[in-house]
Every structure is written in C-alpha cells, then in structure tokens.
A and B are shown apart, each in its own frame.
Chain A
Amino acid sequence: DAGVIQSPRHEVTEMGQEVTLRCKPISGHNSLFWYRQTMMRGLELLIYFNNNVPIDDSGMPEDRFSAKMPNASFSTLKIQPSEPRDSAVYFCASSTTGANTIYFGEGSWLTVV
C-alpha cells in the first residue's frame, strides 16, 4: 500500500520566494497533519484537518504560513514569503479519526537561503 506521499522531497529557495509543499494522505484516512521539525524545536504540530476541515491551526507560526485541503486526497502547506528561519523538514501525516497511530510521510526538506 502507498503511504503518505509528500513532494517535493527537497527544495532550496531564496528568501522572499513562495514555497508550496504537497501531501497525499493514505487513501481512506480522514485526518491529516502537518508537522515541522528543526534541531532547535524538535517536531511541532502546525495544523491538522479532519474531513478536509482545519480543526486546529494554533501551531502555525505566523500569517506567512497557510494550509489547505481542497479534497480528501490532497493538501498543501504554503509559505509566502519564505525566510531563512523557515528552513526545516516538513512532515505530513494521516490517520483515521480516533485512530491510535498516525502515519508519516518521508518529509519535505526545505532550505531557504
């Protein structure tokens, strides 16, 4: 079975540019999560969706970050404009509502120079 699929795997961009990260959750999963991982702050939950609706975005760092889930099989995390401090690994994860565990993608490694 295909797991959570993220793209791009690696991206290097210049400060001020728009960055769009993409995620395809596991088929049948109705909860989707975006995490960010850095050395300084570890793994942080940014936002999660249930049935395509954003439920909790309290982890989104600031207005430069936005996330959408237009349908059950696709989500985006956008950073505009990007800054060097946004450099991190961004993970997408999915699960079914109330499930014991979630399944992570391989991550998108973002470097903003």
Chain B
Amino acid sequence: DAKTTQPTSMDCAEGRAANLPCNHSTISGNEYVYWYRQIHSQGPQYIIHGLKNNETNEMASLIITEDRKSSTLILPHATLRDTAVYYCIVRVNTNAGKSTFGDGTTLTVKP
C-alpha cells in the first residue's frame, strides 16, 4: 500500500465544511483512496472511496487531484458528532481488511 500523509489534527466550526487533506504521492495506478473514521470508543467506519473521479455519498465528498497525488475529504456541514479520527488509506481494490491505518487526522468540531 502507498504511504499517506495527513495532518495530525484540525478544528472546524459546527455547520461549516470540514476539508481534510491527504497526500499520497507514491500512489500506483491501480490503487484507490479510501477514507474511514473512528469515533471515540467505536470501531472504524467506512466513509467513501475513489480511484480518480470525484465521489459523493450521503456522508461526504472525495476530491482527488488530477495527478492523484493528493485528495481531500469534505464533510459539507460538520456537526459535533463528526468529531473523530479520520484515516486516509491507499490500496488496491481487493481485500479491504488488509488496509494499513496510519495515525489519521483528529478532527474536532466546535460549537
């Protein structure tokens, strides 16, 4: 799996968009970008994934740069319940359980 780099922590005001960056400059052509989050005292939860096109679902949007060396997870209207550690993972699109979770970004949504 390609290595990813994320900021250690970020703050966001409630109701505002949270933009979480991830650098993955060594990503291979067949590797996808996945995002998970882990709310305190819970197991990690899948958010979204993509290959090269931008993706959107009910939880978030994923913007991947054209050269695929970085991406941004967007939570359009952050709530206090979005406070969590967010993990950016790059891997091939098989065997999801072999994901390598790094340190992630601790997002704190403040009222």
Contacts and interface: CB of A to CB of B under 8 A. Distances in A.
Interface string B61-95: 00000000000000000000000000000000111
Interface of B: 32, 34, 41-46, 49, 93-99, 101-103
Contacts of B96: 95, 99-102
A104 B45 CA distance: 7
Given A101-B46, A104-B44, A107-B43, A33 B94 contact: no
B43 A91 contact: yes
10 contacts: A45-B97, A48-B97, A56-B98, A93-B97, A100-B49, A100-B93, A101-B96, A102-B97, A102-B99, A107-B43
Interface residues of A, number: 21
Given A42-B102, A93-B97, 18 more contacts: A4-B43, A31-B95, A42-B103, A98-B94, A98-B95, A99-B96, A100-B34, A100-B46, A100-B96, A101-B34, A101-B46, A101-B49, A102-B46, A102-B97, A104-B42, A104-B45, A106-B42, A107-B41
A106 B43 contact: yes
A19 B73 CA distance: 39
A108 B93 CA distance: 28
Contacts of A12: none
Contacts of B95: 31, 98
Given A91-B43, A104-B45, A106-B42, A42 B97 contact: no
